[in-house]
Structure 1
């Protein structure tokens, strides 16, 4: 009997909103995929036009939450193997080759973590917990889907999960206002998630949780060694914890 040597095909997925600055770079680095699909949340820039011009299939869907947006995208994929990178993540040539080899021979694994090198304000961040950052970015859609979290969603995969050796570069920072806007959105969605679980904020949430987040990131995870960038990251992330519970408090009081 002849051996089946066909290479499994790959669908690359992206969710986008006003990502025109990243579209060309993103698609260029994913040209090895057999299909590229954008699910766009009604961008007001030319994200959709650029993606379509470069050969991606573009679908428009109003944003509800991150898990629903990503799971909708998965349902549109033609092929079983999914690459789901963010627009601010850059795939290196080495990672590309490892992905292609892994899809060809995944062994007994249905999903794979990719380690991320985080860059903030023009600097590679080496501490503060970012040194261990990873996420599932390659998986078989028949064995994985996003877990339903409104924010900080993760792929829940059945079976064994591997980890790729090569890292991607994560450039989440465009400007301070843009980064702060992202944290505001995350805080609102986290507050909504807590509201749905009927969690009520108290003094502990307003004072202890933000302080703990700062101390954990800046001192215990050695963010102090990243200089002023490490301090800024610890500060804005601890403040976003405070805003999460402030927004939750406002939800209970019906305050916009």
Structure 2
């Protein structure tokens, strides 16, 4: 079963390379860029992402715009400042091998860091 990764960006040159690398196991990586004024687009393309520029219409509409451009039914939505860990990558590869999962979606627990420290009990 194939997976698309979807990343929404605006001036994320500081984050985009590592983000795209962390989802490189996906079968396609789509970056929807909201007219960045830095090197976001070129850095994403350098890492193998397909970049589509779309003016910011609001979060929900931008995400919907991106999902419509993904080729595969399973879409991993990642923020540019997020990273997929090795253990999550392995778990996703296990789940999506063969016929794929028998459900409609997954929720991935997240760990939040601020100022170099993990925040506990953020809800």
TM-score range, shorter chain: over 0.9
Which of 108, 116, 123 pairs up with 2:117?
Answer: 123
Distance 2:80 2:62 in 1: 14
Match status 1:17 vs 2:42: no
Separation in structure 2 between the aligned mates of residue 88 and residue 53 of structure 1, nearest angstrom = 18
Aligned partner (choices 27, 33, 51) of residue 26 of structure 2: 33
- How many equivalent residue pairs? 121
Tell me the residue number matched to 2:80.
87
Structure 2 spans left out of the alignment, 5+ residues: none
More helix by proportion, 1 or 2? 1
TM-score normalised according to structure 1 size: 0.46
Give a deviation string over 1:79-101, Cα, whole Å, max 9, x none: 11111111111111000011112
Name the SS of the counterpart of 2:11 in structure 1: coil
Partner residue of 2:53 out of 43, 56, 60? 60
Distance apart, 1:66 and its partner CA: 0.4
1:1-256 equivalent positions in 2, closer than 5 A: 8-104=1-97, 105-107=100-102, 109-127=103-121, 130=122, 132=123
Q: Secondary structure at the match of 1:116?
A: coil
- Unpaired runs of 5+ residues, structure 1, are 1-7, 133-256
Looking at structure 2, the residues matched to 93 and 121 of structure 1 have their Cα atoms a distance apart, in angstroms, of 23
Which of these two proteins has the greater Rg computed from alpha carbons?
Answer: 1
Q: CA deviation at 1:23?
A: 1.2
Partner of 1:191: none
Give 1:40 deviation, angstroms.
Answer: 0.3
Greater Cα offset, 15-24 or 97-106: 97-106
**Larger RCO: Structure 1 or Structure 2 (Cα < 8 Å, ≥ 6 residues apart)?**
2
RMSD of aligned residue pairs (Cα, Å) = 1.1
Deviations 1:133-189 (A, max 9, x none): xxxxxxxxxxxxxxxxxxxxxxxxxxxxxxxxxxxxxxxxxxxxxxxxxxxxxxxxx
Instruction: Give the TM-score taking structure 2 as reference length.
Output: 0.93
